[in-house]
Structure 1
């Protein structure tokens, strides 16, 4: 074949003119999603977690899948984030599942149960104990796919305007709590409140609240709760952990390329680690600052802990008896929780106690 004919057959003419263009495989599509979040901007760790999540999704997809936080996308005051995302209000959103426990009580297991799992144990149940599959089954008819995206770790027991010496001091106490803790408090004679984070300090100052539980030292310090209610009680038995969730609209997720779906899952898992580690890193210094500014730390009386534990067990059993959906999740969670508590008593708790002992002074001759 002459050279001229060869070039023509290859799609090139004299002078390099293109006579035919071979098909070129297209890369992944450029997609942009708005993100909704209930996390207040004053709380830097939670918002840092949001920024970490969207940055990782972009990095994992070569900046072809961009997620931007949109402040205009917010559920109504009484609408849980998972419902907002499931109804198409946003393709993706972050929040706490127990906000919807009034309608689906089993969602407490996706956030926190009094006297339940700590953050490490929660991750173990979700990722290795079947918890995530059970929660996704619960939320299948809500049109969302949930992912663990962070955890505050063990929280403080709450900030009180006056000392709490006995269980009777909880009678009539107007106490801001969340999730299942509200029912436990009610059982003990208290009056659970749902005051928003932005009103907590003011409500304590004007005495419309007697006590408030938000999170741990870092967040509570930023909200200034100790300025209005100086007595801080521990342990935080009401929320030994508080898992946060990322909800992805099911239809929107189904339209994503597989590699983008995987990027969201990986980014959520990394954000889960980032948020939890950030709280663990910053809480000790915040606790020191709280006490330096006048916070008074007190352990809860044993009488209150025992009464609250009994109330929790009774509430869990009652919910399991009333709902097959709750009973199915509880049947997985309860033995896992009991086994974790036993293991941690033998290993982790004993190590923590021994590690905190002060070594004897070396004798000098």
Structure 2
């Protein structure tokens, strides 16, 4: 096995090196909705550096943070070539990404499996494997949007509010910003009102009372300056994480214009991007919690009754997700799709148990997935 791994690594390195010997340079315009200086934008810049490093400067990526396209504009912008590639948030476009959206609705598994701060790492590998190697319907959705999928990143989310938290009674009547359908259903179940609000408007929304809470990663406490407006953070309820990112989706025409070696190089850089953002959000969530505690924000777990009620709700919701998407979007084989993904996620919880950094996670994902993709045909 070690010999095979070494051979694969040698062949990959040789292929990437050949990109550098090709005539001319290839420039990729990459758009992200993250603001400059945030964890998301910094990861995009690091990915541009990685792509250049992998190809000895033959491929370059110019990053446009929160300028060329917003998150809400990203799907159409990448589809139509306004950007060559971009960070597409799949739950923002439920009608276009139905199959992938269904899987993104399953992140409450973090709570049921008690994955702690490694749920996002496991999801990053699992969703990448599912889409690239196991989901023809997902690939068809990407193709219909004139895009090619190359990577995912995920992180754990917490409930962060301008009001005290702890019990089910505290949640009633609150306006909660949600980033996915699963949290919308949960908010309604506990008597709150789910609100859709762009990620870059969190501070304004909370400070102006448009929303009382946001379900987001604790990284945003620092990235979005939320420590100035928050009163409480509930770490464990409702739980879950954002698992619907297509972080490095690339315009299909651009992808098909690349050589095989360039496609492999881009995919390897995309793998790094997903791994780095997942890891950096893991670190950022810890730092966000530290900031909250230092500023006197209550960082709490739900009381036993709310925790138990939420876990019961998650079990019931899980049982209905496949049926919900089959009925709402006329999807076929939803039970089988959910079962397949859950098996993959279970595997990845074990694979990431001892991962100690972004590079290690990137190498793991590439070995498990990237080496099994035929870039002669993928996305073609």
Residue of structure 1 in register with 2:43 after alignment: 49
- 1:259-282 CA-to-partner distances (Å, cap 9, x unmatched) read 111111000111222222223334
Shift of 1:174: 0.7
Q: Which runs of 5+ in 2 are unaligned?
A: 1-20, 111-118, 354-380
Residue of structure 2 in register with 1:116 after alignment: 109
- 1:212-259 CA-to-partner distances (Å, cap 9, x unmatched) read 12212x322332324323111121544335353211111111011111
Residue of structure 1 in register with 2:235 after alignment: 234
Residue of structure 1 in register with 2:176 after alignment: 175
Is residue 36 of structure 2 the alignment partner of residue 59 of structure 1? no
- Counterpart Cα distance in 2 of 1:50 and 1:312: 34
Residue of structure 1 in register with 2:30 after alignment: 35
- Counterpart Cα distance in 1 of 2:59 and 2:340: 40
Pairwise mapping of residues 136-151 of structure 1 onto structure 2 (< 5 A)? Answer: 136-151=139-154
SS of equivalent to 1:70: strand
Q: Structure 1 length normalisation: TM-score? A: 0.75
- Counterpart Cα distance in 2 of 1:170 and 1:102: 30
Residue of structure 2 in register with 1:256 after alignment: 258
SS of equivalent to 2:202: helix
Shift of 1:283: 3.2
Residue of structure 1 in register with 2:94 after alignment: 101
Residue of structure 2 in register with 1:74 after alignment: 69
Residue of structure 2 in register with 1:126 after alignment: 127
Q: Which runs of 5+ in 1 are unaligned?
A: 1-25, 349-365
Change beyond 3 A, Cα 1:330–1:73: farther
Q: Is the contact between residue 171 and residue 189 of structure 1 (CA under 8 Å) also seen in structure 2? A: yes
Q: Is the contact between residue 54 and residue 265 of structure 2 (CA under 8 Å) also seen in structure 1? A: yes
Query: Which of 279, 300, 305 is 2:310 aligned to?
Result: 305
Q: Is the contact between residue 237 and residue 307 of structure 2 (CA under 8 Å) also seen in structure 1? A: no
Pairwise mapping of residues 309-320 of structure 1 onto structure 2 (< 5 A)? Answer: 309-310=314-315, 312-313=317-318, 315-320=320-325
Please say which structure displays the higher CA radius of gyration: 1
Q: Is the contact between residue 217 and residue 285 of structure 2 (CA under 8 Å) also seen in structure 1? A: no
Shift of 1:323: 5.4
- Counterpart Cα distance in 1 of 2:72 and 2:42: 25
CA RMSD of aligned residues (A): 3.2
SS of equivalent to 2:109: coil
Q: Structure 2 length normalisation: TM-score? A: 0.72
Change beyond 3 A, Cα 1:89–1:311: farther
Residue of structure 1 in register with 2:83 after alignment: 90
SS of equivalent to 2:60: strand
- Structure number with higher helix proportion: 2
Would you identify which runs of 4 or more consecutive aligned residues in structure 1 move more than 4 Å?
A: 109-112, 127-133, 323-327, 338-345
Q: Is the contact between residue 143 and residue 249 of structure 1 (CA under 8 Å) also seen in structure 2? A: yes
Change beyond 3 A, Cα 1:339–1:144: closer
- Counterpart Cα distance in 1 of 2:348 and 2:22: 49
- Counterpart Cα distance in 2 of 1:132 and 1:239: 24
